[in-house]
Amino acid sequence: MLKIRHLILSALLLTGCASEPPHHAVKQRNTPLTQAPPSSVNGTWAMFTEDAASHYGVDEKLISAIISVESGGNPGVVSRSNAVGLMQIKASTAGREVYRTLGRRGQPSNAELRDPAKNID
């Protein structure tokens, strides 16, 4: 229960830690944002989101919303900052912390983070 809450909190806190310095000019996006609505994400990954929500005592809609915003439901996506998978977990930060919590050394591999079951859990 603590693991998913810690992971979600870490992901939310790390969202504000951009690797690029702040820009003074506003960039205009020419392409529309494509983001799967949480309902479609939940349908695709429902087995995993339901299990995680039940196991950790969090609302399944929160997990689905994070997946929708972070990856659009694409388990293979990797960000410029090397965040991986559905919930955009960075192996060197949140991934390492989860390993530490589980009593393991090191950090998860990108292959582990691309696995929807492990990324959501």
Q: Which range of residues forms the domain containing residue 110?
A: 34-120
Domain-embedded: residue 47: yes
Domain-embedded: residue 46: yes
Cβ contacts of 24 within 8 Å, gap of 6 or more:
none
* CATH value at residue 69: 1.10.530.10
Segment 78-84 shows an average pLDDT of 95
Query: Given this model, what pLDDT does residue 85 score?
Result: 95
Domain-embedded: residue 6: no
The conformation of residue 35, written as its DSSP 8-state character, comes to: -
Joined together, the tokens standing for residue 81 give: 């900052």
Residue 41's pLDDT band (cuts 50, 70, 90)? low
Domain-embedded: residue 87: yes
Domain-embedded: residue 76: yes
Query: Given this model, what pLDDT does residue 89 score?
Result: 95
Domain-embedded: residue 11: no
Domain-embedded: residue 101: yes
Say which range, 11-15, 42-46, 93-97, has the weakest mean pLDDT. Answer: 11-15
Domain-embedded: residue 56: yes
Output the CA torsion 5→8→11→14 (10° steps).
-50
Number of domains in the chain: 1
